[in-house]
Structures are given as structure tokens and as C-alpha cells.
Structure 1
Amino acid sequence: MRGRTVVVTGGTRGVGAGITRAFAEAGAHVLICARRPPEHPLPGVEFTPLDLRDPPAVRAWFDALPGLDVLVNNAGGTPYRLLAGTSAERHARVIELNLVTPLTASLAAYEHLRRSRGSIVMIGSVSGSRPSPGSAAYGAAKAGLAGLAASMAVEWAPEIRVNTLAVGMVRTELSALHYGGPEGIAAVGRTVPLGRLATPSDIGDAAVFLASDAARYISGASLLVHGGGERPAFLDAATVNKESPDQGELT
């Protein structure tokens, strides 16, 4: 990635910080934009305060860049909210942050990326392909993001490649609050086939791969980064075949 300019939205903490660090370590010139600055700035990484929900400000910032090779649409997230527990307006804001702002940033970056024959990496989620109780609006937005990326990959080819990372559970600085401390994190990690939650650097490495020349013929793809997925609940509930693999029948 040496000599290339990379923008990571929301690249100041958690998964975003892991992505920022991975591109910086790969030699890229990394620009990050978010509402709050990083707690631990990285050498050579430039931060700009920017509200991605303000399209004129987003366009002005991208227009002022001298060039761009890679855009990583990482900004997003959601609190735990049951559908009937809050207003439609609050759910709409979650969809705006996780679906509309990546579209806004991608359109603002389009001319730069077309000239450089660059790429876009959308940071999606497994929540976009399975039920997400407590974060339904987020899951719907991530499903829409994968669809948006697939359409972009067709419309903007061959100049711009567009791919999605479908991310599973990641251990960040907020995981202890989310999963109830170290024991909870370990317990949740044991439900993942690879035995642990992802780290931000795992996601960063995958993002660098999709943006690199090694993936030059990959576009319109959705790469699962989830440690093997989630163990189906019925396996633990079923009793047939646990003692003898020759008994019973699966249909």
C-alpha cells in the first residue's frame, strides 16, 4: 500500500482503529474522519473532525483532497434497542448512519477513485444476513449496505472495485460492557468455531487484502470475517446421533 492514500471513516477507535493501524503498517498514507479524535493517535495518520451525516461538509472535505486510492466505509454502530421500545425516528437515525453515510462518502469520493482506479471497502456485518433482535434497524442497514456495494461494483466497474467485509463479533474496548466482563467475553468466544472473538487487527488485515493488488480481480464480493460463523442452536438441543453417528436421519 506504499504511496497510496486511504480514507477510513470512523477510524478512531474499535474496529476502525484496527483498520487504520493495518493500513498505516502497510505503508499507506491514512486519513481518518469522525466526530471525535482518536484517544491514541498513530504516527503519520491525519485526523479530521467530520460529521458524515452532513453531506455538504462531506463533499467539501473529499473535494479538497489531492487524491485518493482507497475508501473504507467503517463508520457505524448501534445501541441495543428493541423495535417496539423506541420511536421510528431513532431507528431511522441508525439506518442513516449505517447505510446512508457510506453512500454519501462513496459518492463524494467517486471522482478521486475513478481517476486512481481505486477501491471501496464497506464494513458490513453478519447482522445483515441473519435475524438481529435488539438491533433490527442496524441489521437491515447492513443488509442494504451489502446490496448497495454489489450494485456499485457493477455500475462503477472497471475503474472502481467495491467489496464488503461481513464482520462477526469483535473484541474491542467496549466488549467488557457488552458481554459482561472477561468471563462473558471468553464464554461468547467459545461459541465461535475458531474459539475467540475477532480482534480489530483481524478486520484491518482483511480490509488491506481487499484493497490490495492481491485482490485486483475481486469486486462485488462479500467476505465473511467471523471465525467460522455461529454454531447452530439445534445442535446443542438435539439428542439424536450424539452417541452413535449411524443412528437417525437428517432431512
Structure 2
Amino acid sequence: MTVTYDYAGKSVLVTGGTRGIGAGIAAAFRAAGAEVTVCARTPPEPASPEGAGDGSVRASPEGAGIRSARASTGGAGIRFVRADVRDPEEVDRLIGTFDRLDVVVNNAGGSPPAPVDGTSPRLHARVIELNLTAPLLVAQRAYPLLAATGGAVVMIGSAGGARPSPGTSAYGAAKAGLHHLARCLAAEWAPLVRVNTVVVGLAATREASDHYGGRSDLDGRAIPAGRMATPADVAAACLWLAAPGYVTGAEVRVDGGGEIPAWRHLVTEP
């Protein structure tokens, strides 16, 4: 069975949408017919035939700091806006480029390894700003446009916010806060705007090895489904949650069944 979506005429914003999971989400919405805008602090990389969501960057007549990237899916392309979503003024400028907005996917996030002991308070603050405060700002500024269209917000959460996250405690705490924020906004903005969360588990991206101790081959030993999530897996959940419907305040886990606890290996291995 194949599930298809028609987002023709819809305007979609994907924060952090120039690489990895964000690029996969942007490409999926573009393939479904949406007018897609991505934002990041740096422009997308040049086109690569194997890069999902990557595209050739061309100048846009809309002004400095705004470019358009042609998606690998073809068509009219994906617009790029340079913006740091931690900065309220830049978020205002970003949202000000829209006349209409139907979907916001708050994907921008992440953290370097940051053990609490010995890591600067400023780094922890910046991690929380990116993973919790920035999605709040973007959603808040986008709300009037989304309310006008009966739109939706999709937060990209993390398994790190649903279980202990040693080594990235600030990130895990911020993601836990993001999951709660989505539930609060879903209640506060109903019935005009729906807000849901995709809780992503171990994911296979180019940055994966940085997060998993140099390993990019985690499989059935860690994940019941036998493989890590792909950007396409996450994008499929986003397409469903952003489509008009009844579901709001939900957390959809895209984690392949979770993570197999270490004790299973301890009791089964010689």
C-alpha cells in the first residue's frame, strides 16, 4: 500500500532544513507539491546527486540573505532564508517573508557532546535556546498565519528527551521541555492550530557518527526494527501529522521500537 499526500498550494517552513533529517522533510513536502522554505544559519550545500533535499543554490530577487535551492525532487525549488532561529529579530524577519503559512516543522536542533561537569554554562544555555526556546519563538511568531489557514506545527523531538541522556543532559532536558511545550500549545491553540511531536530515536544521517561515539552502523543490537531511522522515515510522520485531521497534542515515536536495554546483551552473551 502506498500513501500519498497532496500539499499543492500549501506553504511549509522547515527550520534547519538544509541537511540531514530537515533536508529529508523539506524534500518530502516539496515532492507532495508544497511551496517549501528552509532556514539555517548557513546556505545549503551545492547540489549532489545522492543528497536528499540538497540542491543547487541560486540568487533570489527577494533580497540579501534569502536564496532559493532547487530540490532534488525537481519542480519550482525550495526557498532558503538565512536565519538563526535563536534570535527573536531574525525569527521576525523570517516569518515576515511569508504571506501565507500552512505548516511549520521545527526541526532545527542538536548538541555537541556536553557533559555537565566541566562544560561552560554558556554552552548549556545555547543548547537550550536552540532546542527549546527557538521552537517556541518560531511557533509564536508563526501563529497568526497558521491560525488563518487552520495550519499545523510539527516539533521534531528526540528519544533523548524521553529517557536519560548522559553526556547531553541539557539537550535531553530541552527536548523533554519541547515535548511538553507541544502539548501545551496544542491545548492553547485548539481548534485553530494543531501541534504534534515526532519523537526521533537513533537516526542515520551524515552527522550520526558524531553523536554515537563514532558508530554509524547501529542496528538490531540496539534497535528492535533492525536499523536506524532515516530522514524519509521521519518525513513520512511529518506529512501525516501536518495533514488536516483530528490529531493534536500527540507524540509519534519514530524509533524502530525503542532501544534494546543493555541487560539483554549481558544475559545472552557469553
Tell me the TM-score normalized by structure 1. Answer: 0.89
In 2, Cα distance between equivalents of 1:177 and 1:97: 18
Alpha-carbon separation, structure 2, partners of 1:230 and 1:179: 13
CA contact (8 A) 2:101 2:145 kept: yes
- Work out whether 1:200 is the aligned partner of 2:206: no
Change over 3 Å in CA distance of 1:95–1:185 after alignment to 2: same
Name whichever of 187-196 and 24-33 sits farther off: 187-196
Counterpart of 2:170 in structure 1 is: 137
Q: How far is 1:37 from its partner? A: 1.3
For the pair 1:79 / 2:112, whether they are aligned, the reply is: yes
Whether contact under 8 Å (2:197, 2:249) holds in the other structure is: yes
Q: Helix, strand or coil for the counterpart of 1:185?
A: coil
Unaligned runs of 5+ in 1: 243-251
State how 1:143-222 maps to structure 2 within 5 Å: 143-179=176-212, 184-188=215-219, 190-213=221-244, 216-222=245-251
Letter in 1 for 2:36: V
Separation in structure 2 between the aligned mates of residue 88 and residue 188 of structure 1, nearest angstrom: 35
Task: Measure the CA separation in 2 of the matches of 1:176 and 1:142.
Answer: 20
Contact 1:190–1:196 (Cα < 8 Å) also in 2: no
> 1:83-130: CA deviations, max 9, x gaps?
112111210110000000000000110100000000000000011110
Q: TM-score, normalised by structure 2?
A: 0.83
Query: Deviations for 1:15-57, whole angstroms, at most 9, x for unmatched residues?
Result: 1111111111111110011111111321410001011121022
- Structure 1 residue 235, shift from structure 2 partner: 2.4
Counterpart Cα distance in 2 of 1:190 and 1:4: 41
* Higher relative helix content: 1
SS at 1:36 equivalent: coil
Name the counterpart of 1:11.
Answer: 17
Deviation at 1:13, TM superposition (A): 0.4
1:94 alignment counterpart: 127
Equivalent residue runs for 1:62-73 within 5 Å: 62-73=95-106
Instruction: Say whether the 8 Å CA contact 1:2–1:27 is kept in structure 2.
Output: yes
Query: Relative to structure 1, is the Cα distance of residues 120 and 15 closer, same or farther in structure 2, using a 3 angstrom cutoff?
Result: same
Q: Which secondary structure does the structure 2 equivalent of 1:89 belong to?
A: helix
Percent identity for Structure 1 against Structure 2: 51
Summarize deviations over 1:145-164 as a string: whole Å, max 9, x none.
01100000000000000000
Partners of 1:8 and 1:187 lie apart in 2 by 27
Structure whose alpha-carbon radius of gyration is higher: 1
**Is structure 2 residue 39 aligned with structure 1 residue 33?**
yes
